[in-house]
Every structure is written in structure tokens, then in C-alpha cells.
Amino acid sequence: MKIGQQLFRTIWPVTDAALPGHYQVAIIDQTALPHAWRILTLNSVQQMVDAIRKMQVRGAPLIGAAAAYGLALASQQSSTDETLQAAASSLLASRPTAVNLRWAVERMMRELLAMPEALRCAHAWLEASRIADEDVRINQSIAQHGLALLQALAAEKPGCLNILTHCNAGWLATVDWGTALAPIYAAFDAGMDIHVWVDETRPRNQGASLTAWELQQHGVPYKVICDNAGGHLMQHGQVDCVIVGADRVSRVGDVCNKIGTYLKALAAADNQVPFYVAVPTPTIDRQLEDAIRDIPIEERPADEVHMMAGLTSAGTVEYVRVTPEGSAAANPAFDVTPARLVTSIITEHGCYAPKDLHDMLQRIDPI
């Protein structure tokens, strides 16, 4: 994505000046946005695990690519089965919900363990870059399929198309272009009259801090709203559709996404507002039977509920407590929206009603 005069992805390999022939991995530190732009260079799989766990790098497709690069960093130290297995286990344990991370680790390990140790390091960097490049192509395709949906909605109503989105499923959550925001960028770039309601998305505020920043950088009109305002706006005809991302989707179209998505889907159903989910096929878990029962929902630290970060008048970022000392807090990071509440799933292969997703999956080869 273009930031100022420069094109960026969210993750990329850089040559290690101190070690010719070695690479580091550069990421945008998403915990610094929107108040600071900070690039981190990672030198080891442990540093990648820490960055994923701290959500310096986040978003289902992006943590898949990050895990792939994490294995490339590990193979730079040693390419033995033991080293790679240990690295894979650490990466898988970093965040349990987004299936992309498991998908990327399994794909990398299938490739690497099948070849001689001497060839593994070079191939790891190549395969990680392939995963990153595929993500970009997938999201560009999601953008076009989603654009057609938005154009069909706009054809039915005069004036501005109001789209609500939850959390951040923009280019920051992927290698580039995003998933839920990809059709929005495509619509804006095509000259459509659109406006985006941006759910702040407590407790980490990925909407208020990341989606708002992305849309501002691109010039897309938006308003940040508190998470509880969406239902009211839908009741008053101010939302023409909802588009969200996903962290794991079952083959029948149950959607696991950031906490609060389910409540938006309920409000959308109650107000006949189309509810779209943008899903690259690596986010679909073909083995998943019962999403509510079987998807591991990450429980994140209680401090994410107790504390909030903000910019002081002096221009420094400080954390403040918003709950009484000694309070307990629960912090499930995701919830599951049943397929019955999903209007259409936007994939790189086209848009599908949940009931048609399984047939599509039968026709395409997993990547």
C-alpha cells in the first residue's frame, strides 16, 4: 500500500548487513500506530514469536506469512528436523485462533522436511516469499469480487454507500491490500461514493487505531464509532452493509472473527443489512466441524481490558487504567458468527452463500 510516496507491504525480508548471505525480517510495528510509524527488524524465530504474541504483527493472513518467515529465520540458525520442529511448535503456540498460522507452518514444514537439510534454508526463504506473494494476489481478487457486491448495492440506492466494518482487516492485517477493506479500497479507487463506519473494537482498538489510520492514509471517508453504536445506526437505515474479516471459517461458513463480530451480525440480521465476510481460502479450516465447540478462542491478558494507550498533549504515548484497581477482567479475543447470519462470503474465487461454500472447496485445490 502507498504511504506517502513509498509502497509498503507489512512484512519483507532484508539482507543482514552484519551477516552477508543472511536475512532479517522487517515488520511494521502495529502497536506503535496510529501515533508512530516504526519498522522492526527481526533476527530469530523467537523474536518473531514475541512479535506475533505482542501483536506487533497481527491479522490472520499476516501472522501466517509471519510464521513462514519465522521458520526461514529458524532455518538460518539450523535446518535440522529438531530445530524446525521446535520452531514450528513455538510459532503455533504464539496465537491459537487464526488458522492461517497453522496452515502456513504445515505448508512450510511439508516442504522443508521433505528435502535435504542443506537445501532447506534457501527454500524456506523462497516458500515464505511465495506465501506472501500469494496473499497479495488473493486479496486483490477479493477486492474485485467484493467491489461487484458494493456496486450492486450502490445501484439500488442513490447517494453514499455506508459500510460498517469491525476490527482491522485491512492491508495491515495481511501482506497487502487487506481482506474486508480490499473491496472498500477498490470501490474508493473506482470513484464510488462510500463512507465507512469504523468500530473502535475494544479492547485493543484495532479499528480506532489501525483501520482509521489506514482509511485516513488512503483518503477514504470514515467515522470512528464505539462498538455499541452499530445496532442503532442499522436501525436508523445508516448502514447499507457490513464487511468484516475472519480468523477461521468452517466449511459450512461459520465465521470466527474478532470479539464483537457476532453482535454486529445479530444486529445486521435484525435490520436486514447484508453481512459480508471477506475470506482468503487459507482462512478456511476444512477439518472444522463445529466452530463454536471446536475453535480455540484466544484468551488475552486482562490488562488489555484494564489499560488503554493514548497520545498525551505532550505528544507521548501513555497507558492509563480504566478500571478500579483490583478488578477482575475477562478478555476472549474472538467469537463465532453462525453461518445463518452470514449473507455472503467473499473469497478469491468469488462470492458464496455459506451453503455453497463446501461445493466451492471441493472444486479447488488447497494452496
**Contact indicator for 99, 40 with CB cutoff of 8 Å:** no
Report the nearest approach of ligand LNRAV4D5 to the CB of residue 169 (Å): 4
Catalytic residue among 247, 254, 285, 335: 247
337 near ligand LNRAV4D5, rule: CB under 6 A: no
Q: Give the nearer residue to ligand LNRAV4D5 in terms of CB position, either 33 or 169.
A: 169
In the range 204-233, which residues lie near ligand LNRAV4D5 by CB under 6 A?
206
Task: Say whether 258 sits in a helix, a strand or coil.
Answer: strand
Tell me whether the omega of the peptide bond preceding residue 96 falls within 30 degrees of 0, making it cis: no
Report the nearest approach of ligand LNRAV4D5 to the CB of residue 173 (Å): 3
Binding mask 51-70 for ligand LNRAV4D5 (x = CB under 6 A): -------xxxx---------
Binding mask 244-263 for ligand LNRAV4D5 (x = CB under 6 A): xxxx---------xx-----
362: its cell numbers: 471441493
Q: Is 135 a catalytic residue?
A: no
Residue whose C-alpha cell is 476472549: 332
Q: Please, what is the end-to-end C-alpha distance for the chain in angstroms? A: 24
Distance CA 351, CA 171 (A): 20
Distance CA 5, CA 7 (A): 7
278: its cell numbers: 471477506
Q: Give the nearer residue to ligand LNRAV4D5 in terms of CB position, either 84 or 268.
A: 268
Distance CA 306, CA 250 (A): 32
DSSP structure string for 297-334: --B--THHHHEEEEE-TTS-EEEEE-S-TT-----B-E
- What's the sign of the alpha-carbon dihedral 278, 298, 29, 10? negative
Binding mask 160-199 for ligand LNRAV4D5 (x = CB under 6 A): -------x-x---xx----x--------------------
Q: Give the nearer residue to ligand LNRAV4D5 in terms of CB position, either 333 or 341.
A: 333
Nearest-CA neighbor of 308 among 323, 324, 298? Answer: 323
Report the nearest approach of ligand LNRAV4D5 to the CB of residue 158 (Å): 31
Q: Give the nearer residue to ligand LNRAV4D5 in terms of CB position, either 183 or 245.
A: 245
**Contact indicator for 286, 364 with CB cutoff of 8 Å:** no
DSSP structure string for 186-197: HHHHTT--EEEE
Q: Establish whether 120 is an annotated binding residue.
A: no
Q: Establish whether 46 is an annotated binding residue.
A: no
The correct pick among 71, 88, 224, 333 for binding ligand LNRAV4D5 (CB under 6 A) is: 333
User: For the CA atoms of the chain, what is the radius of gyration?
Assistant: 20
Report the nearest approach of ligand LNRAV4D5 to the CB of residue 327 (Å): 23
- Interface with ligand LNRAV4D5 (CB under 6 A): 58-61, 167, 169, 173-174, 179, 206, 244-247, 257-258, 333
- Which residues are tagged catalytic? 247
> Which residues participate in the annotated binding site for substrate?
58-60, 95, 206, 257-258
